[in-house]
Amino acid sequence: MSTTTLDTSISILGPQKIPSHLPYRTWADDNPIIPLYLDAEVSEDAPGGIVELEAAGPRRNLYFDPTRAKCAIVTCGGLCPGINDVIRAIVMEAFHAYRVPAVMGIRYGLEGFIQRCGHLPVELTPSNVSDIHRFGGTILGSSRGPQSAEEIVDSLERSNISVLFVIGGDGSMKAALSINQEIRNRGLRISVIGIPKTIDNDINFIPQSFGFDTAVCKATEAIECAHTEASGMPNGIGLVKLMGRESGFIAAQATLALKQVNFTLVPEAPFELEGETGLLPALERRLKERGHAVIVAAEGAGQHLMDRSDATDASGNRVLGDVASLLRRSINSYMKQRGIACNLKYIDPSYIIRSVPATSTDKVYCGFLGQHAVHAAMAGRTDMVVGKIQERFVHLPLELVTRRRRKLDVHSELWRAVLESTGQGMVYGMLPQE
C-alpha cells in the first residue's frame, strides 16, 4: 500500500528550548509520526493509502515558557454537547499541568474580540469551571457570522495572548485559518489551535466529532417516541427531522441504533416522491403490509424537490427548504387521494439534541481533546486542529480540515447497513449509482 503525498506537516512557532517539567516517561516525541490508512469515508482528499500524521501528546521540550503564557478560549457557531467539557479540560490542563497564569474566556464567539460589540472577556480558573461539564451549551456563549481577522489579532495583541483555542465547526476553522494568516503577516508568535466541533459530524478528516455520540443517543429517544406514536394507531406514521444540513450521519447512525426506522432520508441520496420507485408508493405499501411506518429525515434531505433559495444565514450557509413540511404535505395529499386514512405525527428534537450535556463517551473524548490541545500549544504548534482518527489522537493542518465538508459516502458500509436495516433500497436514489 502506497503512502499518499498529502502535506500533513504542522507549523511550529520556533525552536523548543524549554524542558518540560511534566513527570511523564513516555512522550509524543518518541513516536512523532503515526502512519494511518485513510479511505474516502474520512475525506475525499485521502481516497486510499497511508497518510503520515503527527502524533498528539506532551513534548519533552516546549516553545512557550508556561509560567508566562496567557491563553484565550473562544466558542463559535451552533451549540453542541461537550463544549463545556472541552473548555474545562483546557483550563484544568493549562493550570494544573503547565501552571499557566491566566486563561481568558472570550464571550459570544468572535464578536467577543470586537471592541464595539461590548462583550467583556471572563477569566477562567479551575474553581469557576469545575462543574461546567454537568451542563449543556457553552458558558462563554456563542455567535455566528464572520468578523475581521485584523481586529481579532489587534485584540490578541492588546491582551498579550500567547495561545488562542478555537472551538467550532467548519466556518470557525476557516476563521481560525484567517486569524493565523494575519498573525503570520504581522510576524507575531501566537499559537492558534482548533478543536473541531460539529453536531453534523461533517468536518473534513475527522471521522467522528465530539458531541456526535450524544446527538445520536438523544435522536434515538425521539425515534422511539415516533415509533410508539405510529404503532399505536391505524396507519400511523411517525416523522422525525434530525440535524444534518449537508451530511446525513446523525440520521444514518440513529437509524442503525434503533432498528425501527423504515425510511431514512439524507442529503447525499436524492429521492423521488412519486412514481414506481418513489417514496410515497413505498410508504403506501408499508402501511398496507404492517399498518405503521417511521420516517427519519435529515434537515438537508429533499432540497432538490423544493424551490432553491439564494438567501443565507449569518454563517453564510444557504437557507434550507423545510423537508418536514414537504413530506407532511405530500404524504397527507397522496393518502387522501387514495382514500387511505393515515395518522401522521411529527417530531423535531433538533434543539434538545444539541443543547443537552454530553454522554460519558463524549466527555472522555472531550477531555482528551482539551488536554492534547494544550500540549500542542505549549510545544509551539500552530495553524492546526486536534483530531481523533482510528483511536489515535493526531495533529492536522487547518488547511486540510477546511478544504470541504465531509459527507456520508453512499458507497460505504454505513449506508449499506442503513439500507439493509430499513429495507428501503428500492426507493429511487437510495442505491448508489454506478
- Catalytic residues, by residue number, are 200
Residue 106 DSSP label: E
Q: Are 129 and 139 in contact (CB under 8 A)?
A: yes
DSSP-based three-state secondary structure for 39: coil
Residue 139 DSSP label: T
Query: How many CB atoms within 10 Å of residue 17?
Result: 10
Instruction: Give the three cell numbers for residue 434.
Output: 454506478
Distances in whole angstroms, Cα of residue 312 to Cα of each of 110, 229, 294: 19, 35, 31
> Based on the number of CB atoms within 10 Å of its own CB, is 417 exposed (0-12), middle (13-18) or buried (19 or more)?
middle
Q: Where are the beta strands (DSSP E) in 249-342?
A: 263-265, 292-298
Distances in whole angstroms, Cα of residue 425 to Cα of each of 145, 247, 279, 419: 39, 19, 11, 5
Alpha helix segments (H runs only) across 119-243: 126-129, 149-158, 170-185, 212-231
